[in-house]
C-alpha cells in the first residue's frame, strides 16, 4: 500500500504538470493578451491617447514578460509557484493571485462540498429505492427527473429560481453572499440563516446534476448486483429481502459509485460556476470567467491548476476508500 501511494503521488505530479502545460497553452491561444485589454480600457476611459495607451501596454508586457515565448512564461510561472509559492499577479483584479485564492477558495469549496455531499446522499438513497422497484411509477419518475436534471442548462435553472425568489417570494436581495444589513455584522444565527438563504439556491443548482448521476449510477449498479447468483442464493436461504439488499447487494454496488466520486468535485465546481455567475456570488467561478475573457493568464492558469489538483486528489481519495471498503482489492 505504501509503495502504491508513493507511485500514485509521483504519477499525480506528472499528470498535474501535463494539465498545467495544456491549460496554460490553451489560455494563450486567442490572439492578443491582457495588455490589449488594458490599452482598450485606457482609451475608453478618456484622457489617454492611442500612443500613450500603447506605451503603457508595452510597459506592462515588459514588466510581466508577456512578450516571452509561451514555454518561457510557463517555466517562470511554475518556478515561482514551486520555489516561492507565488502564483503571480492578477491583471484583471490588480492583486496577487495568492490573495484572491485565499479569499475565495474556502467559500467556493464549502459550496461545492455541500452540493457534493447532498447530491451523493440523496442520489444514492434514491438509486437504492428505485432499483428495488424497477419499472414502477417511482422508477419512471426518477428516470424523468434524471433526464431533466442532466440536460436542462444550469444557468436557465438559476434564472428561473432567481425570478421566483425575487417576484414570487418578494426577496429584495437575491445576489451576493449576504444581505446588506449582515455584510459587515458579526456572526450570529440570523447571519448564518441569511447566508444559507443566499447560497442555498446555488448549492441546489450545483447538486441537481450530481443527484441525477448518482441516482442513475447507483440504480444500474444495484440492478446488476441483484441479478447475481450469490444474491439469488441468499434469497433461497430464506433471508429477509431487506437484509439481502442492505447486507449483500448494496455494499457491492457501492464500489463503482465510490470510484465515480473521485471525478465529481470538479463537476460540482463547474455547476457552481454557472449558478454563482447568475447569482453574483464572490466565489472563484465568476472570477475565473472574467479572467478568461480578459486573458488574465496567471489567474486563469492558477485556477486551472487548482481544478487539476482537486481532480487528482478526488481520484486518490476514492481509491483509498475502495481499499478500505473492499479488502479484496490489492495494490501490490
Asked whether the beta carbons of 95 and 183 are under 8 A apart, the reply is: no
To the nearest whole number, what is the mean pLDDT of the chain? 82
Question: What was the pLDDT predicted at 76?
Answer: 86
Inform me whether the pLDDT recorded for 332 exceeds 80: no
| CA–CA gap between residue 330 and residue 146 (Å, rounded) | 34
pLDDT computed for residue 326 by the predictor: 65
330 pLDDT above the threshold of 70: no
Reported pTM: 0.76
Contact 29, 315 (CB under 8 A): no
Does 305 have pLDDT greater than 70?
yes
pLDDT digits (tens, 9 = 90+) for 51-102: 888 888 888 888 888 878 888 888 888 888 888 888 888 888 888 888 888 8
* Position 233 pLDDT exceeds 70: yes
**pLDDT digits over 131-182, tens only?**
888 888 988 998 888 888 878 888 888 888 888 888 888 887 777 788 888 8
The stretch 17-30 carries a mean pLDDT of 81
If one counts every other C-beta atom within 10 angstroms of the C-beta of residue 210, the result is: 25
Maximum distance among all alpha carbons in the chain? Answer: 88
Q: Is the pLDDT of residue 222 over 60?
A: yes
Question: In the chain, what are the domains?
Answer: 2-96 (no CATH), 105-324 (1.10.3720.10)
**Residue 271 pLDDT more than 80?**
no
Q: Mean per-residue pLDDT for 25-44? A: 77
Q: What is the DSSP string of 260-304?
A: HHTTHHHHHHHHHHHHHHHHT--SHHHHHHHHHHTT-HHHHHHHH
Counting residues of the chain whose pLDDT is more than 70, the rounded percentage is 92
Whether residue 182 contacts residue 203, with contact meaning beta carbons closer than 8 Å, is answered with no
d(CA 216, CA 122): 12
Amino acid at each position: 500500500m505504501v509503495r502504491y501511494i508513493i507511485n500514485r503521488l509521483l504519477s499525480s505530479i506528472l499528470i498535474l504538470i501535463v494539465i498545467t502545460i495544456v491549460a496554460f497553452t490553451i489560455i494563450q491561444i486567442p490572439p492578443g493578451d491582457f495588455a490589449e485589454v488594458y490599452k482598450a480600457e485606457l482609451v475608453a476611459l478618456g484622457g489617454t491617447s492611442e500612443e500613450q495607451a500603447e506605451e503603457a501596454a508595452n510597459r506592462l508586457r515588459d514588466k510581466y514578460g508577456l512578450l516571452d515565448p509561451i514555454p518561457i512564461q510557463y517555466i517562470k510561472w511554475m518556478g515561482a509557484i514551486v520555489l516561492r509559492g507565488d502564483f503571480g499577479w492578477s491583471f484583471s483584479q490588480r492583486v496577487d493571485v495568492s490573495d484572491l485564492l485565499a479569499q475565495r477558495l474556502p467559500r467556493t469549496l464549502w459550496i461545492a462540498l455541500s452540493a457534493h455531499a447532498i447530491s451523493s446522499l440523496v442520489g444514492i438513497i434514491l438509486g437504492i429505492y428505485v432499483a428495488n422497484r424497477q419499472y414502477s411509477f417511482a422508477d419512471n419518475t426518477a428516470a424523468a427527473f434524471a433526464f431533466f436534471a442532466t440536460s436542462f442548462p444550469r444557468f436557465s435553472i438559476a434564472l428561473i429560481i432567481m425570478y421566483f425568489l425575487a417576484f414570487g417570494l418578494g426577496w429584495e436581495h437575491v445576489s451576493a453572499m449576504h444581505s446588506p444589513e449582515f455584510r459587515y455584522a458579526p456572526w450570529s444565527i440570523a447571519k448564518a440563516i441569511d447566508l444559507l438563504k443566499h447560497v442555498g439556491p446555488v448549492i441546489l443548482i450545483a447538486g441537481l446534476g450530481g443527484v441525477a448521476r448518482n441516482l442513475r449510477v447507483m440504480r444500474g449498479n444495484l440492478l446488476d448486483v441483484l441479478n447475481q447468483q450469490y444474491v439469488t442464493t441468499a434469497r433461497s436461504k430464506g433471508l429477509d429481502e431487506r437484509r439481502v439488499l442492505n447486507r449483500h447487494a448494496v455494499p457491492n454496488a457501492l464500489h463503482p459509485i465510490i470510484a465515480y466520486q473521485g471525478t465529481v468535485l470538479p463537476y460540482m465546481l463547474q455547476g457552481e460556476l454557472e449558478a454563482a455567475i447568475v447569482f453574483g456570488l464572490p466565489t472563484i467561478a465568476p472570477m475565473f470567467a472574467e479572467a478568461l475573457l480578459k486573458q488574465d493568464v496567471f489567474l486563469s492558469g492558477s485556477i486551472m491548476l487548482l481544478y487539476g489538483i482537486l481532480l487528482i486528489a478526488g481520484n486518490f481519495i476514492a481509491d483509498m476508500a475502495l481499499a478500505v471498503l473492499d479488502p479484496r482489492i490489492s495494490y501490490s
